[in-house]
Amino acid sequence: MKLNTTKELRLMANTIRQDVIRMLLPAQSGHTAGPLGLADIFSILYFHEMKYDVNKPDWSERDRFVLSNGHVAPILYAAMARAGYFPIEETLTLRKLGSRFQGHPSRHWIPAIENSSGPLGEGLAIASGIALAGKMDKKSWRVYCVTSDGEHQEGSTWEAVMFAAKYKLDNLVVLCDRNFIQIDGNTEDIMPLGDMAAKYRSFGWNAVTINGHDYAALMKALDDAKKMKGRPTMIIAETTPGKGVSFAENKFEWHGRAPNKEEAEKMFAELGEERKRIEAEPG
């Protein structure tokens, strides 16, 4: 399903934000802030940018999507369900015993995803390997990877950064969820990351920093990445963790906790009001 207007994409982002809360409430476990903050990016990737066929998940010409920060799995499950990979109702079994929708995605249980994830700092290496394979096979499909800022504190990430630059993987686009939080606090207090764009450029990448909720900026950055030759692209998307829920925004305490019933009701109310505002805007 392709959505062509910003309004449609924003409504989809609102939908999958509410889906995330519906998953987390019965689970009473999981991550809230990151999934809510990434909803706009996942809406654009799954409903505007990427090429895939839900009826043929292993279609050889599909674009590949690699999720590195696997703890934001609920937003991946919500986007894939709304795209048609599986029933949205099944995702309500999140983190339940026997469910294929666990706290971190598993390719064993969901073959439609490209990688299992959980340990941080691995996704960029996986995505780089897939991109190199595509280059060697002279394929036109592209590789998209979502990673977190916190996992840039992992040395393995920077090994992959060097690898991708060496092999000129211009078919690789990485979006970093630059929300400045991790489970113990602000990233710049825990282990400062500084000017990430400058770091990536020094390694030979094309790198831009944008507002991760600005649809025009996101789509332009993705379009520019397609035109880049000889360099992988890093899009540092500055996002608001807990986006759309006033009492959760920018609170690191919401990084790894689920809402209770009262909190979930407030979340639905705020997102419901946002939806009404979007629907009232001109097409």
Strand partners, 144: 65, 173
Assign domain 6-280 one CATH number from 3.30.465.10, 3.30.1130.10, 3.75.10.10, 3.40.50.970: 3.40.50.970
Q: What is the pLDDT of residue 239?
A: 98
Residue 260 DSSP SS3: coil
State the burial class of residue 32 (Cβ atoms within 10 Å of its Cβ: 0-12, 13-18, 19+).
buried
For the chain, the domains span: 6-280
* Average pLDDT of the residues in 196-222: 98
Tell me the pLDDT band of 251, cut-offs 50, 70 and 90: very high
Q: In what order do the strands lie in the sheet with 172-178?
A: 64-67, 143-148, 172-178, 233-238, 206-211
Q: What is the pLDDT of residue 119?
A: 87
* Average pLDDT of the residues in 105-111: 95
Tell me the pLDDT band of 283, cut-offs 50, 70 and 90: confident
Do 203 and 161 touch, CB atoms closer than 8 A? Answer: yes
Q: State pLDDT tens for residues 3-29.
A: 989 999 999 999 999 999 999 999 999
> What predicted TM-score, i.e. pTM, was given to this entire model?
0.97
Do 48 and 218 touch, CB atoms closer than 8 A? Answer: no
Residue 17 DSSP SS3: helix
Tell me the pLDDT band of 273, cut-offs 50, 70 and 90: very high
* Average pLDDT of the residues in 170-197: 95
Helix boundaries (H) for the chain: 6-27, 33-44, 73-83, 123-136, 155-166, 187-190, 196-202, 215-227, 261-280
Q: State pLDDT tens for residues 38-93.
A: 999 999 999 999 999 999 999 999 999 999 999 999 999 999 999 999 999 999 99
Q: What is the pLDDT of residue 85?
A: 97
Q: What is the pLDDT of residue 25?
A: 97
* Average pLDDT of the residues in 250-278: 96
